[in-house]
């Protein structure tokens, strides 16, 4: 299986981090003490700015989950179509060649799902199989590529289009004063990413997916996720996440590589979901990597924040564009998410 192309799509609105923080303070009607705390938390993210699907002034007008979800669906269709078209164009794949479209999100709900609503827009075949996924969160960017590879093992000429869309800004909870929410509203951004994964015998070129692995950590269901209700999506975010990144992920990466006859020094490309600055630093420390090994992840976080499932695909696109690698180079793509869980892929150029 090969990754033939990756493409990202962002909303038209991008704001500096300080501008976003000031807008959030107004929406929260924060007193001086709370405002100082939020400014400190947001300044420590290392983020220059983030994209939002709506102009800033529109967020104060969102009254309930119905309005937020309607904005999510409209934005999802716009960004999703753009990302898919660009990915297919870059891969040299026509819409009618796509056998499966695999879609993931964790920031909105729709039935028919977004992939169904894109079928006609994109010109996909009526017999194209659809696989909508919900709830994977940040890990989904890696997990959907893994699942695409699983589907292609028995179809060496097949094509799978994967799409992840997140509009984290629409999950804003003005009445939530928890530390998790105060951090998340300064960390997460909006965007979409698509990739074209093809079978081994397909004409399109790209790094091969040699192996994948999913890891679930028992009794960690409360580490990360959403409390979903009439209020919409309320963040669950534990301080344990950096600890898992530092202590558990390196062990699992080593076991994954060992089964392929490899060790960490054999890996030339690291494509890691950024999480946040503490999570990314913990991952870097745990894997004993220099900062330049994760530079694309740091750059992605700084430029756009944490895009949840779309981030690791954005980083993969940047890696393919700026550091394509030499024939034979090995790379690891990895992400973590609700469950709590990890996903690993071994790539070979």
What positions carry a catalytic annotation? 138
Q: Which residue's entry shows tokens 């790209």?
A: 206
The three-class DSSP label of residue 334 is strand
Residues β-bridged to residue 160:
100, 197
Q: Which residue's entry shows tokens 């996440």?
A: 241
Contacts of 118 (CB under 8 A, 6+ apart): 77, 80, 81, 84, 101, 124, 163
The three-class DSSP label of residue 332 is strand
The three-class DSSP label of residue 128 is coil
Exposed/middle/buried for residue 292 (C-beta within 10 Å: 0-12, 13-18, 19+): exposed
SS3 content of the chain, % helix, strand, coil (to 5): 45, 25, 30
């Amino acid at each position: 299986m090969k990754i033939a192309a990756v493409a990202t799509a962002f909303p038209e609105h991008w704001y500096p981090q300080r501008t976003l923080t000031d807008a959030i303070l107004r929406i929260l009607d924060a007193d001086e003490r709370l405002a100082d705390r939020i400014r400190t938390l947001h300044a420590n993210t290392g983020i220059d700015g983030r994209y939002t699907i709506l102009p800033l002034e529109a967020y104060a007008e969102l009254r309930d989950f119905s309005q937020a979800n309607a904005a999510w669906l409209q934005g999802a269709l716009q960004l999703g179509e753009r990302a898919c078209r660009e990915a297919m164009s870059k891969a040299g794949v026509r819409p009618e060649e796509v056998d499966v479209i695999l879609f993931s999100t964790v920031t909105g709900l729709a039935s028919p799902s977004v992939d169904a609503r894109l079928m006609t827009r994109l010109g996909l075949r009526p017999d194209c199989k659809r696989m909508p996924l919900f709830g994977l969160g940040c890990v989904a960017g890696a997990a959907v590529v893994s699942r695409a590879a699983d589907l292609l093992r028995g179809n060496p000429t097949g094509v799978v289009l994967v799409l992840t869309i997140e509009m984290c800004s629409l999950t804003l909870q003005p009445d939530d004063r928890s530390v998790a929410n105060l951090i998340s509203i300064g960390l997460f951004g909006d965007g979409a990413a698509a990739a074209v994964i093809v079978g081994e015998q397909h004409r399109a070129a790209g790094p091969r997916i040699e192996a994948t692995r999913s890891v679930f950590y028992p009794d960690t269901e409360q580490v990360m996720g959403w409390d979903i209700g009439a209020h919409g999506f309320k963040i669950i975010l534990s301080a344990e996440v950096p600890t898992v990144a530092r202590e558990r992920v390196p062990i699992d990466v080593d076991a994954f590589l060992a089964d392929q006859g490899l060790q960490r020094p054999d890996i030339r490309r690291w494509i890691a979901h950024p999480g946040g600055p503490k999570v990314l630093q913990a991952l870097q420390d745990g894997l004993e990597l220099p900062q330049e090994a994760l530079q694309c992840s740091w750059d992605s976080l700084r430029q756009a924040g944490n895009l949840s499932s779309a981030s690791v695909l954005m980083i993969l696109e940047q890696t393919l564009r700026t550091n394509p690698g030499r024939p034979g180079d090995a790379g690891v793509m990895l992400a973590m998410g609700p469950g709590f869980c990890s996903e690993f892929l071994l790539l070979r150029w």
